[in-house]
Amino acid sequence: MLDDVDVGNRRLTIAGRVRPLDDLTLKLLLDWLEYRRQHWPNTANLHLLINNQTATGTGRASNRWVRGPLRGQEATLERLRVDRQLEEAMVRGPDPLHLAEVFGLHEKTAMRYADSARALLEQAAEQQLRRNLLDRDVP
């Protein structure tokens, strides 16, 4: 719902859980709100996601409509969700408590993401160290 959007504090409430908005998500949200305002300036629909059919009423857009643009693409909603959670663990550090809070994950799931991020970060650090050593050995 529109009331679940708190642009000033960069937060979005989803299923009763307040979630922070990263820069990309905030930009996309602001772009969508502007698009929504331009296309349906007089709508009484308080749902965040509306379309031509729902703008004239008060119902929500269907799941099929929301998923439609991703149909047939390699990037499924599930893959995007998993990728976003892993990215958060990589950027903010592999902290399972943070992941559980931000995404509402079960503690075991949050620990798996943190472990995966930790392994990827260690692998990247090792590769960088090898490159630095090789660069020094080149005359």
Q: Domain segments of the chain: what residues?
A: 1-73, 74-139
C-alpha distance from residue 97 to each of 19, 94, 110, 111 (Å): 14, 9, 7, 8
Spatial separation of the C-alpha atoms in residues 88 and 96, rounded to whole Å: 11
- For residue 81 the two structure tokens come to 């969700």
Q: What pLDDT, on the 0 to 100 scale, is given for residue 4?
A: 94
The confidence score (pLDDT) of residue 84 equals 81
Average pLDDT score, the chain = 85
pLDDT digits (tens, 9 = 90+) for 44-93: 999 999 999 999 999 988 878 877 766 777 777 677 778 888 888 888 88
